[in-house]
C-alpha cells in the first residue's frame, strides 16, 4: 500500500534527494535562502523541482497542496515554501524586507 509516509521515504532515498543535498549552499539568491537538507522545506523544494522538470511548468497552489497531502506534509508550509522556492529560482519576484537580507552572521 502506498502511503504518504512511504512516498516521503522514497523521496528521501531517491538519487534526486542525494544530488540536491550534495549541491546545497546557504547563499541567498533573490532574497531567499535554500532550505537545509533534512528539513520539510528541503523536501518541498525538491518536490517542486521534480514537478517542474516533469511537467515543464510551475505548480499551481492547488497542486502544491496536493503534493503536500500526498507526502504527509503541512499545506501551509507547502504554500510558504513555494513562495521562497519561486523567488530563489527566479520564477517569482525577489523577496524584500528584513528577512530577504540573509543571516546576519
Residue 99 is predicted with a pLDDT of 72
Where residue 3 falls among pLDDT bands split at 50, 70, 90?
Answer: very high
| Contact status, residue 80 vs residue 74, Cβ threshold 8 Å | no
Confidence (pLDDT) at 97: 80
Predicted local confidence at residue 1, as pLDDT: 56
* HSE of 5, CA atoms in CB hemisphere, 13 A: 1
> 86 or 102: which carries more pLDDT confidence?
86
- The pLDDT of residue 95 is 83
Q: What gap in Å lies between CA 51 and CA 21, rounded to an integer? A: 18
Stated pTM of the model = 0.87
User: Grid coordinates 535554500 are at which residue?
Assistant: 34
Amino acid at each position: 500500500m502506498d502511503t504518504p509516509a512511504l512516498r516521503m521515504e522514497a523521496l528521501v532515498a531517491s538519487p534526486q534527494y542525494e544530488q540536491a543535498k550534495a549541491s546545497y549552499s546557504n547563499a541567498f539568491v533573490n532574497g531567499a535562502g535554500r532550505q537545509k537538507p533534512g528539513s520539510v522545506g528541503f523536501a518541498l523544494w525538491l518536490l517542486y523541482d521534480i514537478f517542474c522538470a516533469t511537467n515543464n511548468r510551475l505548480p499551481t497552489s492547488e497542486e502544491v497542496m496536493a503534493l503536500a497531502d500526498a507526502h504527509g506534509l503541512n499545506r501551509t508550509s507547502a504554500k510558504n515554501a513555494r513562495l521562497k522556492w519561486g523567488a530563489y529560482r527566479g520564477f517569482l519576484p525577489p523577496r524584500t524586507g528584513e528577512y530577504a537580507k540573509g543571516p546576519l552572521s
